[in-house]
Structure 1
Amino acid sequence: MKETRGTTMVDTGTGTGAEAVTTDRATAQEPEATGLGHRHRLTVLAALLAVVLLAAGGVLFSEGQRLRDTPATSNRALTDTEATTRVTGDVSSALAKVFSYSPQATAATKEAAKRLLAGRALQQYAALFGQVEKQAADQRLTLTSQVLRAGVTRLGGDSAHLLVFLDQVYERQGKPATTAAAQLSVTARLRDGHWKIVEITSR
């Protein structure tokens, strides 16, 4: 009976020990499994955060590009004083030369137009100047034009639109001079470092 009890006690002890070891191992593995799960959740959150930030960055970039490309911000007439002054000077000087002539100097005016005008403006001018040249010779007509005001309404990298006010004085031999005002819409292009008039419209 003693041996049996001893055996029973030993067996019971062994069983208790096995259970204890098993329990200890399970207890030891729980923190490790919990740590892995926590790290996995952090990795997923970090990835989601990166995706959100990239998406937000793309939206902000697109919005910024749209704002930069609006007509107001792309119009250098509002921001570039030096370029605006230059195109105003070039166009004003050109208009004064091509719209001023005398019976003795129509050839000089024609040559000036070839240098200062281009495109449609030069074609229109060339088509009309033959009549002006004949009139100047027949009526001894002198025309002097002066720009009173010129404003750049839009200025891009190589194009500009201006509104110009001219004061023109007509003189016929033997008659009093006549003064007239003109208002023009002008388009100019930057070519070889100089602004050339490519279109003129009377307003």
Structure 2
Amino acid sequence: MIESLIKRVPTAVLAAVAVLATVLALWSGAATYQLRTDGAAANHALTDVAGTEAVIDGVTEAVETVFSYEYRDTARTREAARELLVGAAVEQYEALFAEVERRAPERRTVLSTAVRSVGVVELRDDRATVLVFVDQQILQGDGTHTSGASQLEISVVHDDGSWRIDGITVL
């Protein structure tokens, strides 16, 4: 009788382990499916390499264009901004750029902005949030040269085939 009990115990233990492993596998599969269908996996910033690169390229070009100007031709920068900005960013930029257009000619200001680093924080379908680190050089007609760095949080939307800025926050 003891021998038959000893023979059954390993079988019972193996069966219990198999049942436990099956339950864990089912639970893990269900949790993975839920992550993929919920918001957590909808962020493609790390999984969509081509999409992330497109956002980085679009934001780099837009930031360098919109935040660089030459006092003799601020209209060119304003026109470019009309192509690269949408939504709330248009109002933000218009308020800022009105002051630039007023002061730049008298001071003969040239502003050059270079994007040094871009990090895509979130990429979801046609929207993205990006951190941008820029260096800015300001040259004025009196020979004054100033340089500095800024950090921006930029929100962009994919619109009409390109990424356009729809929100700017200076950090």
**TM-score class normalised by the smaller sequence:** 0.7 to 0.9
Counterpart residue number, 1:144: 112
- Tell me which of 65, 70, 77 is aligned to 2:45: 77
Q: CA deviation at 1:195?
A: 0.3
Deviations 1:163-199 (A, max 9, x none): 0000000001122311110100000000011000000
SS in 2 for 1:166: strand
4+ runs deviating over 4 angstroms: 59-64
Counterpart residue number, 2:132: 164
Q: How does 1:5-154 map to 2 (within 5 A)?
A: 63-154=31-122
Could you say which structure has the greater relative contact order, defined with CA pairs below 8 angstroms and 6 or more residues apart?
A: 2
SS in 2 for 1:106: helix
| Distance in 1 separating the partners of 2:40 and 2:31 | 15
**TM-score (structure 2 length as normaliser):** 0.80
| Distance in 1 separating the partners of 2:60 and 2:168 | 13
| Larger CA Rg, structure 1 vs 2 | 1
Q: CA deviation at 1:61?
A: 8.2
Counterpart residue number, 2:10: none
Q: Which runs of 5+ in 2 are unaligned?
A: 1-26
Which of the pair is proportionally richer in helix? Answer: 1
Counterpart residue number, 2:5: none
Q: Which runs of 5+ in 1 are unaligned?
A: 1-58
Root-mean-square deviation (Å) = 1.9
Q: CA deviation at 1:79?
A: 0.4
| Distance in 2 separating the partners of 1:118 and 1:174 | 35
Percent identical pairs in the alignment equals 39
SS in 1 for 2:71: coil
Q: CA deviation at 1:66?
A: 1.6
Which of the pair is proportionally richer in strand? Answer: 2
